[in-house]
Structure 1
Amino acid sequence: MAVRSALPDRYQALVNVAAGCGLRQGEAFGLAVEDVDFLGGVVHVVRQVKLLRLSRPVFAPPKGGKEREVPLPESVAFAPAGHLKRRPAARITLPWKTLDGPPVTASLIFTGTMGLPLDRNRFNHRVWRPALRAAGVDTGRDNGMHALRHFYASVLLDAGESIKALSEYLGHHDPGFTLRTYTHLMPSSGTRTRAAVDRVFGEEEPTADGPDTAQESA
């Protein structure tokens, strides 16, 4: 949240979308109004902004060519909805997959100051890393925007979400890859057991008599 606050206002909602839906950086840059079902609470991840030679942008499918649907929590939806009220989406036309590919138009939610698609190299250098420094966070590779995707995974696993579901939301082809990547974040069996029992016993009102008193009364 400190990094988010250090970002220019036009980019702050990017943090909510990436950390709240597990989007890759290029997928967040390529997110269009028509991809977001605010009423149904779903984000359709169908494209990314990808840089080819000489940093020329194109629209492309998500990594691995796998489109997916991701739940959009209400608390996350407020950020892009508010962003769109202040800055309407920009109609952007880019070639599809290759520089000579067919033109595709999308109403992008996030664009640069000149109304152009976001360039990951410029964004990371001129926007993201300065925000990290302002927040007192190391600017190494581990703290790139991809860290927001790891944050998303850690939140879901801590809440007990399954590896299979997490794999689908992240757009991984193999749940085994998801397991290998995030197994260190999963609660231990002992932790889950204690939490499960505590939930049941926590619903009961404690009695005034302890166990010994109850046995004596019997």
Structure 2
Amino acid sequence: MWVHVRRQLRTVDRTLAFALPKALPKGNKTRTVPLSPGVLAEIKDHLTSHPPTTVTLPWRKSTGDPVTVRLLATGEDGRRYTGDLFTKTV
């Protein structure tokens, strides 16, 4: 019943890249967040109707090593959202 936040999408040199998530008070840390049964049920429902999209992006910088992960929240045709764009669009 925990979510492990290990990465975020960031725009670096006009390129999307994976990076460590922001966390307060100091940035660049992973974190673990408790998950309620209701939120878990919503995630499962979402995954049934919207399967994860496999995405490969560089790590930390536009020339970083490529990392491949499955994203749970993407737009049409696998569109990727940074946190700011997700908030503005969705």
- Over the residues paired in the alignment, what is the CA RMSD in angstroms? 1.6
| Alignment counterpart, residue 61 of structure 1, candidates 20, 24, 27 | 20
Per-residue CA deviations over 1:102-160 (Å, capped at 9, x if unaligned) read 000111100121203214454444x24xxxxxxxxxxxxxxxxxxxxxxxxxxxxxxxx
1:26-75 per-residue CA deviation (whole Å, 9 max, x = no partner) reads xxxxxxxxxxxxxxx01001101111233x21000112121111111101
Equivalent-residue separation in structure 2 for 1:113 and 1:47 (angstroms): 22
Aligned AA (2:10): K
CA distance in 1, matches of 2:78, 2:11: 17
Q: Distance in 1 between matches of 2:61 and 2:38?
A: 36
Match of 1:93 in 2: 56
TM-score (normalizing by structure 1) = 0.37
Aligned counterparts of 1:124 and 1:82: Cα–Cα separation in 2 = 21
Q: Distance in 2 between matches of 1:70 and 1:120?
A: 17
C-alpha distance in 1 between matches for 2:54 and 2:79? 9
Q: Which residue of 1 aligns with 2:34?
A: 71
Q: Please name the residue that 2:77 is paired with.
A: 114
Query: Which is helix-richer, 1 or 2?
Result: 1
Amino acid at match of 1:114: D
Q: Is the 8 A contact 1:60 1:97 kept in 2?
A: yes
1:42 equivalent in structure 2: 2
Contact residue 50 and residue 59 of structure 1 kept, 8 A: yes
Give matches, 1:2-41, under 5 Å: 41=1
Number of matched pairs: 86
User: Which residue identity does 1:74 align to in structure 2?
Assistant: P
- 2:67 aligns to what? 104
2:8–2:82 CA contact under 8 A, matched in 1: no
The structure that is strand-richer by fraction is 2
Which of 25, 43, 51 in structure 1 is aligned with 2:11?
51
From the superposition, tell whether residues 119 and 45 of structure 1 become closer, same or farther in structure 2 (CA, over 3 Å): closer
Which whole-Å deviations, capped at 9, do the CAs of 1:71-115 have from their partners, x for residues lacking one?
111011111110000011011110000000000011110012120
Q: Residues 71 and 86 from structure 1, CA distance in 2 versus in 1: closer, same or farther, beyond 3 angstroms?
A: same
- Conserved? CA contact 1:58–1:95, under 8 Å: yes
